Structures are given as structure tokens and as C-alpha cells.
Amino acid sequence: MKSPAHGPSISTVRPMYYVLIQGPSYRGLDFDSRERVREDLRLKLESNGVRYVEYCWVWDEKDRCQLLVGRYHRLEDARWWMAALRSFGFELSIRTELPGSDG
């Protein structure tokens, strides 16, 4: 048996579910245009009463703007938050890995 200093065993590690709001593609956009894309998503969220201390932006393989809006150990919890965000008109995705992770 491993000591706690070695961390959890593989069998006890639970997957993480990442909820992302999907924005448009950044492809071909200059820096200012990319900033406007991010600002539009942020303002839409805030107009629905959701504000984060920090906004974590993610780019996928298709160079699409995505905003990380939740990390959950339980898929049911992720789905609950996704339903709320969809009611605000957001297009969403859920992933078990973020682009660029070593997983």
C-alpha cells in the first residue's frame, strides 16, 4: 500500500468533466478582433447574472474560442450547469481533457 505522500492510486482517481462555452473561430482574426469575441461572450454571461473572478479561455484544434465555465467530478453536476447555460442561449461542450493536456 502506498503512503498518502504518493497520492491517490489510479483506481481512485475520478475523471474531471470540463464545461466550455463555445464561441466562434479565431481563425484569421487579429488580436483586437479576438478580444472582441472574448468580450462579447463575457458580457453575455454577465448579462445573465454570471460573473467569474478569472476567465479561463481555451482554444481547440479548430482555433475556436472557448470559455471554461465549470469543472466537475460528477457528470450529473456538469449536466445541471450546462442546462442552465443553454437556457441563456450558449452553445456548450463537455470534455474530459482540455486541449493541450498530456492526458
Q: What is the DSSP string of 8-63?
A: --GGGPPP-EEEEEEEEE-TT--HHHHHHHHHHHHHHHHHTT---SS-EEEE-TT-
pLDDT of residue 15: 87
pLDDT of residue 35: 96
For 4-60, write each residue's pLDDT tens digit.
Answer: 555 555 556 778 999 999 999 999 999 999 999 999 999 999 999 999 999 999 987
**For residue 70, how many other CB atoms are within 10 A of its CB?**
17
pLDDT of residue 6: 56
Asked whether residue 3 carries a pLDDT value surpassing 70, the answer given is no
Asked whether residue 1 carries a pLDDT value surpassing 70, the answer given is no
Ordered strands of the 17-25 beta sheet: 56-59, 64-72, 17-25, 92-95
Mean pLDDT of 73-93: 96
Look at the domain 14-95 and name its fold: Alpha-Beta Plaits (3.30.70)
d(CA 23, CA 7): 36
Domain ranges in the chain are 14-95
Partnered with residue 71 across adjacent β-strands are: 18
